[in-house]
Chains A and B, each alone.
Chain A
Amino acid sequence: MVEHILEMQSITKSFPGVKALSGVSLAVERGEVHAICGENGAGKSTLMKVLSGVYPAGSYGGEILFKGQTCSFSGIRDSEHAGIVIIHQELALVPHLSIAENIFLGNERRGKSGLIDWHRTNAEAGVLLDSVGLREEPTTPVGQLGVGKQQLVEIAKALSKEVQLLILDEPTAALNDNDSAHLLGLVRDLRTRGITSIIISHKLNEIEAIADHTTVIRDGKTVETLDMADPDVNVDRIIRGMVGRDLEAFYPSRDSKPGEVVLRVEDWTVRHPTQDRLVVDQATFEVRAGEVIGIAGLMGAGRTELMMSIFGRSYGRYISGRVFMHGKETRTRTVAEAIEARIAYATEDRKAFGLNLIDDIARNISGAALGKLSSWGFVNHHEEAAAAEFAMKSMNIKAPNVRSIVGKLSGGNQQKVVLSKWLLTDPEVLILDEPTRGIDVGAKFEIYTLINSFVDAGKAVVVISSDLLELLGTCDRIYALSTGRITGELPAADATEERLMTLMTKDKELIA
């Protein structure tokens, strides 16, 4: 009979205002590779944080059985002690320490005196490196290694803790093809050594190649667990599980009458700011007056990077590509030039990149349009206050007055402040990166209405969203992005979640 090393039963987890998990169950057999799939925000990472004790016992509902025993971890140390190790997407290595020091960090090999035994540390690290197939000196600083090799160091670190259940969160998201292949080979190798792995990935081809079972999660619930040995189970089958929802009557309707092309971007290519890889590869797209286009892509596909690099080269190292406004090549090399060209970009992370949280509404709203509101270098206070007052009324921003501090507003109202700020620059193209992330349903509807009235006035909108339904509900056309490449373009009328997901998970080599 099948022995389950891990059973998670009806796990629920809530955050203020959101139910992240509402009854996820997961059963993992000893010695298998078990994949977890789901859209962005489906609850995969939350589930793994529950399992590894990042969210301590008591902060979630449901039961976890590991090797038949109920677990109540109060932190990562507890779960690691039990033999569960999680390797996060953002690696937790100290770049200036050596490989050996990183492997034994918090778990140092000491001699009798209590001081660190460096011979033993380096020797044991060497053995571990051999077992993961990494040919580097244990004394090499981790920062000198590429991401792929760092990933292997993380696995060696896990092995040093006598791991029985290894959780890999998006392990290949930042890797090139060779490194990915090596990593997946290693996971197979660990299976033969009796180590069970859970792998979270958006790359469905990899999952098809490596997993024994796949559990699909959607909206915080387990949809199904698929046996990968079943000949009927393939990538399409997984996608169907990931998206199967109905389009709710949630999006205000709009008559779309696309006019002439406003913004056209050709062959846009951008390199990662520090690593030697392309984040955006030859992207070409256009948006017309009175049109909303969507950019669909999984995390790490390069959506935000594409838009931020166009908007004043605010991301990465530019390589090549051209931007046209109304058919004329336009310089957008600085944010000021992009604003001048009447492009606006509202960031996905309003708190970190979009707002000055310690300042008031009026000053935040005027922040990108001070040139218009000033003469001789001095801000016209009355015009500024009037503009902010108008924005508060027209956008229905709920706050005592325009001098209220932005940091104290709700997410939805903060987002409206960000939008007001960009509308004040009078843009022709409004790029909205995750415009409804973390805001409530009512505010979402208001923002969709706003998008509609903006394009009705003959302007153009680009929406980036992880929520495919949002794209289907608001856009006229949708571009799909996968690993930095535009893998397809669909009119919203023809698009379905399945078709988009297929394009979004298309790997490079599969592109004709």
Chain B
Amino acid sequence: MTMTAPKGSQKGKASPPASVVTAGTSEIRELFTRNMRTSGIYVALVALVALFGVLTGGASLGPGNITNIVLQYSYILILAIGMVIVIIAGHIDLSVGSVVALTGAVSAVVVIQYGQPWWVGVIAALVTGLLIGAWHGYWVAYVGIPAFIVTLAGMLLFRGLTLVVLDNVSLSPFPAEYGQIASGFLNGLLGGAGYDVFTLVIFAIAVAGYAFSQYRTRKALISYNQLVPSFPLFIAKIVVVAVAVMTFAWQLATARGMPIVLIMLAILILAYSVVMQRSVFGRQVYAIGGNVVAAALSGVKVRTVNFWIFVNMGLLSALAGIVFSSRSNGAQPGAGNMFELDAIAAAFIGGAAVTGGVGKVAGAMAGGLIMAVMSNGMQLMGIDQSVQSVIKGLVLLLAVAFDIYNKRRAGSR
């Protein structure tokens, strides 16, 4: 949410938007400095995209590569949605990589070994994820063991169970329908010459939806005498977002069309953003992370909420496990190794606080994309794996340091 300094007039009853605040360079500067903490992450993402676009001579921005990034990092983003919720509540989950492996393995055993249809495998994996989440939730919420320990145990436990389920060997290949989950596309539904009209239409609807919801939020804010950016700046913001999104859509449309996994991801992001920002449950998660005693004394059922946070994490881990096994067309004992660290890094780069109470789904997505764009760009440039790891580590450290620096500055004011 963006705010600018009041000009005194906004206390008036029904002041028209134009008189609320005045646009100008000072406002843009204000907007930037004030919102560095919340929007800095998106600026960084755009800068990184541009940087690698230049460094790779445009290759990273090509249609094929854009599609690739979406397919390749979708499961990290799915994990990051659950992880940021866990982190907002003041916990952590180190087990998600192992859970990805185990749920993928369960699905593979059901579909490949027992020859069941693909959806039976999906359901089996989801149920496994739910049970694992309930297991973690029980120990964290009801027994009171720190999540760090519970999920560290889970990391070992479920990795071991993966080996048991797979009998120490890889299983492949899945039937073609199963592969569609991660690698399928929706295209050609509305035709188009050299580009997919369906993809463009979907994205255009999304942009229109975004613009409309922004407009409604703005109107509501004004009616409650809240501070809003001036109208030209508001329009400028929407135009920038629309151009960026439609460029992205064009690149997808000229490649292979709309990835199914992107639709799934979009639905998840939208749904979880609404849950975290608007629902009572989401509020309670923030309240627990911000001050657990105050939350308990306000009637929040802390244990119940913590339990469901982990159940949800288990479910999303299973979903990521399904997508990953689908993409790798099989299940391996070592699948999902270190995924937890990517998901945690995404949440923290995306502005979540180590102490809990702060963070956003959208931020975690931007954080995940930053990691994705960096990995992908460095791969395209042929940078050595070891150097990539060093750079990613430094980025994580600097992102959190920047966050802490900002907070300290805000606190000293």
Interface positions of A (Cβ within 8 A of B): 311-312, 314, 334-336, 338-339, 345, 347, 352-359, 363, 366-368, 370-371, 374, 377-379, 381-382, 385-386, 389, 400-403, 421
Contacts and interface: CB of A to CB of B under 8 A. Distances in A.
Contacts of A311: 297
A367 B280 CA distance: 9
Given A335-B296, A400-B6, A403-B1, A379 B291 contact: no
B295 interface: yes
Contact of A335 (B224, B283, B286, B297): B297
25 contacts: A312-B297, A312-B299, A335-B296, A335-B297, A336-B299, A336-B301, A354-B297, A355-B291, A357-B290, A358-B290, A358-B357, A363-B286, A367-B294, A367-B298, A368-B299, A370-B280, A370-B283, A374-B280, A378-B279, A379-B280, A381-B278, A385-B226, A386-B224, A403-B3, A403-B226
Given A359-B286, A389-B225, A402-B226, 11 more contacts: A335-B299, A357-B291, A358-B357, A363-B283, A366-B283, A371-B280, A378-B274, A381-B278, A400-B227, A402-B224, A403-B226
A198 B323 CA distance: 71
A354 B225 CA distance: 27
Contacts of A357: 290-291
Contact of B294 (A334, A354, A378, A389): A354
A303 B283 CA distance: 31
A311 B296 CA distance: 11
A370 B285 CA distance: 13
Contacts of A386: 224
A495 B19 CA distance: 58
Most chain A beta-carbon neighbours within 10 Å: one of B291, B293, B300:
B291
Nearest to B356: A358
B220 interface: yes
B358 interface: yes
Nearest to B282: A379
Contacts of B6: 400
B281 interface: yes
Contacts of A339: 299
Contacts of B41: none
B324 to A, nearest CB: 31
Contacts of A403: 1, 3, 226
B227 A377 contact: no
Contacts of A381: 220, 278
Most chain A beta-carbon neighbours within 10 Å: one of B3, B299, B300:
B299
Nearest to B288: A356
B299 A356 contact: no
Interface of B: 1, 3, 6, 220, 224-227, 274, 278-281, 283-284, 286-287, 290-291, 293-301, 353, 357-358
Contacts of A347: 297
| Shortest 5 CB-CB contacts between residues of A and residues of B | A356-B290, A368-B298, A336-B299, A335-B299, A367-B298
Contact of A379 (B224, B278, B298, B301): B278
Contacts of A378: 274, 278-280
A377 B280 contact: yes
A424 to B, nearest CB: 11
Given A357-B291, A358-B358, A378-B280, A401 B298 contact: no
A400 to B, nearest CB: 7
A401 B297 contact: no
Contact of B296 (A314, A355, A359): A314
Contact of B225 (A314, A356, A363, A401): A401
Contacts, number: 95
Nearest to B281: A377
B224 A389 contact: yes
A401 B227 contact: yes
A510 B300 CA distance: 42
A358 B295 CA distance: 13
Contact of A353 (B278, B280, B297): B297
Nearest to A339: B299
Most chain A beta-carbon neighbours within 10 Å: one of B220, B225, B297:
B297
A345 B3 contact: no
Contacts of A389: 224-225
A334 B304 CA distance: 13
A356 B280 contact: no
A367 B287 contact: yes
Contacts of A336: 299, 301
B357 A356 contact: yes
Contacts of B280: 370-371, 374, 377-379
Contacts of B1: 403
A371 B299 CA distance: 10
B219 to A, nearest CB: 11
A269 to B, nearest CB: 22
A367 to B, nearest CB: 5
A352 B298 contact: no
Nearest to B224: A385
Nearest to A363: B283
Contacts of A352: 291, 293-294
A370 B282 CA distance: 11
Contacts of B278: 378-379, 381
Nearest to A385: B224
Nearest to B296: A335
A476 B212 CA distance: 56
A92 B309 CA distance: 37
Contact of A401 (B226, B279, B296): B226
A357 B279 CA distance: 20
Contacts of B290: 356-359
A382 B6 CA distance: 21
Contacts of B220: 381-382, 385
B406 to A, nearest CB: 13
Given A314-B296, A335-B298, A345-B297, A356 B279 contact: no
Nearest to B10: A401
B131 to A, nearest CB: 24
Contacts of B226: 385, 401-403
A379 B291 CA distance: 20
A363 B287 CA distance: 9
A498 to B, nearest CB: 35
A403 to B, nearest CB: 6
Nearest to B290: A356
Nearest to A353: B293
A139 to B, nearest CB: 29
A371 B283 CA distance: 11
B122 to A, nearest CB: 26
A421 B298 contact: yes
A371 B279 CA distance: 11
A379 B279 contact: yes
Given A389-B224, A401-B226, A356 B287 contact: yes
